Structure 1
């Protein structure tokens, strides 16, 4: 009984000393952390696991060295060893969280040009998750190896590891493929957190990227959860891989009587009067003229996808109202003409109301590839390799 009481006293005393030492270190780190992000994160995240790990380690050392033999000593020591292993695994996980916070503090994602920051954020988060998973597996393995019976059968387990590995690989083929796909997406820079994508005809942003699945926040606040293998095996649209600025169109089917140049000037006036336009592209072209109607396409640009959506709606609404109020004859219509027996129609004998316009160089608002510095750069991207035989 005296030995047991001495063991309890020694254990509590060692734990109290360890807690006191940890508290002193914590206060010093907090004081120094006023000027250091690393020390401040250490004092916030690593204090509690450091307390637990230090007190358990001190208690285990006290029971082993300062206490004599008592009933159940072996079981108590074994439990303390397991607790120390788990506590230090917790401490290592907390340190990984500190490293993540310090690494991400230098790169803000709430700024307009945040592509590099989002890439680093995705990679750091993924690395921490992989590391935490590895820590859990290693900790569990180390705990098992503290049991003598497990160590005795270790040789036979290693001998049959090849067969077990093959069976486990076949059983977990889908899971492993998702894990490798997640790592591939993270480090190939094909997908990042907050990227704007179009998946399964749904437009949204990457809200969460894990080793096995990807969560896409759709524009109407629904969540589309996809396996990571989807993004490595099927095509998808990434609107923000290089930059957030994008182009968008608004198409209208109107009558052949539409004044295209006046409509082009109205589009330019509208763009110059709205803050949704980023000033890069404002083009209006006739892209089709079949089926008795003319298809007008307005191509505009914005700083990001949400702004572009509002800008496209604004262009569509304004041009519809402009045609209805200013040029009602350009509204879509169906024509039926009745001629005489000789099929001589009245309009075939009527003179044109004005002379045909002189052909010349089109206005820069009528050209997607050319006419401006932005258009020339876009044309150069699609010209292909230069013909060396002509030089």
Structure 2
């Protein structure tokens, strides 16, 4: 640990030391899924307690990144597993079913890894991919709280000597509080976005734990203040190139969002089945002894399972089209990927909200007792599905098929 890290710990209790040993190296899709399942079983044990207490999952997060799962999208040419997009989704869904906050923490990290692949120089790829494979976590400082739209960035990056200066304020910065690096989106004089990689212990970079959302409570998605921070040129990536040209950067960002929502639905449906069999009472007019024999409850669970299966199936189709867009990027393949991901996002949003609502209906009044904290499922679903408005997904899909109009290229579609 550097002297600056030691000194900063006195005033910043959230500052995390760099990994003391390299993370595990995952070599196959099957291994990634196996590790995700083992971690999810462990993460689920205290998920409700962490949510209730707003306790940050520090130990769990370290285990997560040290497992090697945060490096599974690193290209094979740089030592990574470069797993399929179907596997990426399965890993995220598996973790989200256990604890959606933990599943959201690597969301932007994986997006950043993709931007390094797309926009980084060869030197940047070797350097940052190496850090990722060693277990280093990227947080994010992307969104801003008071801008006119989500894409209107006020954080500035200015050339200075052989590097840059960055100034601004961010919010919704999931993962930044417990990250090792905080990649920050800032725009130049021409309004072009760049990604400035800033070490978490950098002087004049401050991350505040002020996330007060009622859901996704332990993502620490709070404020990042960047006050005249100097960044060397080698740590700046021109991410605007990923959207000036047809690439899968936008759909990949949305793909991860949809995977988290599908995982939330998975977890809620599993919880519903457990609680109906364990706690719910048969209705007085049914003449039945157990709630799980109620034909209306049986129908409702069947309906949710079908909807979840459909959502996950479309997510798999989107994964396959994502791979095509990555292998042969052009206007048509990227547009097709965006549309399929949009379709998946609609379905995963709907089933996440439906499953978390239906939990209470089928389990009954006792499901609302604070001691069970079952409302965390709905709170997480309602919070995370707000990231991007589904009403605009319908518009993009309809315009594509009805009028042949390709969707815009940006991280929100």
Give the structure-1-normalised TM-score: 0.27
Give the structure-2-normalised TM-score: 0.26
